[in-house]
Chain A
Amino acid sequence: MIADGSKFKPGDRVRVKFEDRPGHIRTPWYVRGKSGWIERVYGDFLNPESLAYGRDGLPKKTLYLVAFRQADLFEKSAGSNDKVLVDIYDHWLEAAA
């Protein structure tokens, strides 16, 4: 495990928070409010939501590779067994059942 302080470990079920707020946000709209699982823990990185405004990006945020069932994201993918992988920062994720 790279980031010992990380909230989640590979395989954990997570839900992406549904937030709609101004600012530079890396979490794409199509995964907000959706559930998936942690595929990989990348480690801790400067926060782009802060860096985007010329600030220092601290405190660092843990970045995860999160997997979703494509069928859960897009109606037209119903029946698909494909998965979609998205990089998502820790503060956008909460534990899901």
Chain B
Amino acid sequence: MARGHHDVGGLPGAGAIDQTEHQLSDWEILADAVNQALGAQGIKRTDEMRRAREEMDSAAYRDMTYYERWIASIESILIEKKILTKEQIDQKLAEFEAKWGEP
């Protein structure tokens, strides 16, 4: 049976939910803004983003934080829709790293 890595409701061993308040990082706010903008432009839908997260490699999904998953799914949807290529994204990333150092 294939239970998706996102579909964990009721599974034992998940531990308690961390309910403490925490500050968002600038990049997380930016990730939200990019997501909103792509939605407003009619480029992607929430359901597509959810599907992209469900299709991710399971180990990668578990290792990522919430907004890291958002970024990864935005990336895969933009590549899928041929709006950006993986090469373009990698190249831009290399430019940022050259300028600002590795994250």
Contact = CB atoms under 8 A, between A and B. Distances in A.
B10 A51 contact: no
A53 B50 CA distance: 10
Most B CB contacts (10 A, CB to CB) among A20, A22, A23, A24 go to: A24
Interface string A32-64: 000000000000000010011110000000000
B9 A24 contact: no
B47 A22 contact: no
The 9 closest A-B pairs by CB, nearest first: A52-B51, A52-B47, A51-B47, A24-B51, A30-B10, A48-B47, A29-B7, A30-B9, A29-B3
Contacts, number: 35
Given A20-B2, A22-B2, A51-B45, A28 B51 contact: no
The bracket for how many chain B residues form the interface is: 10 to 19
Interface residues of A, number: 15
A20 B47 contact: no
Interface of A: 20, 22-25, 28-30, 48, 51-54, 73-74
Contacts of A30: 9-10
B1 interface: yes
Contacts of B10: 29-30, 73-74
